[in-house]
Amino acid sequence: MLLTKSPLSLSIQRVLTKRFYAASASSEIKKTALYDFHVKKGGKMVPFAGYYMPVQYDNLGISASHLHTRQKASIFDVSHMLQSRVTGKDRNKFFERLVVADLHQLPIGQGTLSLFTNEQGGIIDDTIIMQQQDSLYVVSNAACADKDLAHIRKHLAEFQNKGFDVDFNVIQDHSLIALQGPKAAEALEGLVGKSLEDFSFMHGRQMDIAGVPCHVARSGYTGEDGFELSIPTEEINTLTEKLLAHPDVELAGLGARDSLRLEAGLCLYGHDLDETTTPVEAGLTWTIPKSRRETGGFLGAEHILPQIKGGVSRRRVGLVVQGAPAREGAEILNKEGQVIGAVTSGCPAPSLKKNIAMGYVKNGFHKKGTELNVKVRNKVQQAVIAKMPFVEAKYHK
């Protein structure tokens, strides 16, 4: 099925290619261990977060790849993400200073989405933290790697100087891929030789994949069931090829990843989240459990916790837009024509055949069904606040 030339696919490709080139500030672009694999398979490579990454492949356009992921399964190279490990008996105490999660209450083998916050309550980055027997396994964004590492190491030195037992190391010898879609479990089961029915969303475990020891988390960034596989780098090409041998599995690039995550109502750091945005404004209050709301102790808590009870002046919302797609930066207007916010992400939604967007609006305009306008290339278009996710999540509970 070749949909590379479809208007929807071309529209997504144009805006994403522009975004990805703009997102690469470094003059030295790195390559993941799968770079040659992508090129061989027809990947269109673009700079993104300091790496050459595939935005799409020759055999499937972005829209077709998106729909294939929703219907079957796709492999995404996410080796550009920062994988790290926190060790020592005081690791939970240390990391709870930096993130909003309750790690002391996080059972072994379970993970959580959390947020690094700064002293003003802004979001430094979003991250997945997995509690393991003797460590915390942490995955954070590639585009934020340098500032995340500087932030973590600054506070690490302070903790260590106070005598706490904690250490932090970047995982250098493993690559990361995401297998996403309703056929993901079936494809992986064929290589692990057992059912994964008892493996729930946001849990992780060590397991052999075709005889190779890997860390597997049942998680992802598409709203579909799926897994993120941390694989020894020397085996990454072999195992990716074996997963791709399943008849329902295809490769997918950054283009489909972006439209899938937006349909799922998931934020992209640097666009929907930044250091001037608090978790409450971003609609991520749920990442702060009751225990942390009571005790605080994380950076910026004195700014964030009062917002939970007292409210905020703006809120992140979802929009369904009439007419042309509303892209990042488009003004959001009330019916009187006053600017009340801005779009932070937007694209055509292949699953819905509608244009969707995410953005921030003044408090009071955030309720579902509120009719607004957006300004796209100086043309005013109708929009309505919609509940997120736009497409129902299908995580394996």
186: phi then psi, degrees, rounded to nearest 5: -60, -45
CA distance 361 to 341: 4
Length of the chain (residues): 397
CA distance 325 to 138: 35
Confidence of residue 48 (pLDDT cuts 50, 70, 90): very high
Residue 11 has pLDDT above 90, yes or no: no
215: phi then psi, degrees, rounded to nearest 5: -100, 130
User: From the annotation, which residues make up the binding site?
Assistant: 228
CA distance 263 to 390: 5
Q: Give the burial class of 261: count Cβ atoms within 10 A of its Cβ; 0-12 exposed, 13-18 middle, 19 or more buried.
A: buried
**Quick one: which H or E segment has residue 136?**
strand 135-140
Confidence of residue 22 (pLDDT cuts 50, 70, 90): very low
Q: From the CB of residue 274, how many other CB atoms can be counted at a distance below 10 Å?
A: 14
Confidence of residue 117 (pLDDT cuts 50, 70, 90): very high
Average pLDDT, the chain: 94
Task: Give bridge partners of residue 126 from the DSSP assignment.
Answer: 115
Cβ atoms of 82 and 143 closer than 8 Å: no
Contact residues for 300 (Cβ-Cβ < 8 A; gap 6+): 117, 118, 119, 120, 121, 122, 278
User: Average pLDDT for residues 46-69, to the nearest whole number?
Assistant: 97
Query: What single-letter DSSP state applies at residue 122?
Result: -
CA distance 216 to 208: 9
Pairing mode, if any, of strands 51-57 and 30-31? parallel
Helices 236-244 and 184-192 cross at an angle (nearest 10°) of 120
Least confident among 12-26, 53-67, 377-391: 12-26
Cα 204 to chain centroid distance, Å, stands at 17
Q: In angstroms, how far apart are the furthest CA atoms of the chain? A: 63
User: Average pLDDT for residues 204-214, to the nearest whole number?
Assistant: 98
Cβ atoms of 221 and 176 closer than 8 Å: no
Query: What single-letter DSSP state applies at residue 103?
Result: -
CA distance 96 to 155: 11
Helix and strand totals (H; E) in the chain: 10, 20
CA distance 262 to 271: 12
Q: pLDDT tens digits, residue range 279-334?
A: 999 999 999 999 999 999 999 999 999 999 999 999 999 999 999 999 999 999 99
User: From the annotation, which residues make up the binding site for substrate?
Assistant: 228
Query: What single-letter DSSP state applies at residue 273?
Result: B
Cβ atoms of 32 and 51 closer than 8 Å: yes
The pLDDT, as a whole number, for residue 4 is 38
The pLDDT, as a whole number, for residue 16 is 54
Structure token digits, residue 80: 């550009």
CA distance 270 to 91: 28
Contact residues for 249 (Cβ-Cβ < 8 A; gap 6+): 72, 73, 74, 75, 179, 183, 187, 243
140: phi then psi, degrees, rounded to nearest 5: -135, 175
Unique residue bearing structure tokens 């340098």: 146
Q: pLDDT tens digits, residue range 211-268?
A: 999 999 999 999 999 999 999 999 999 999 999 999 999 999 999 999 999 999 999 9
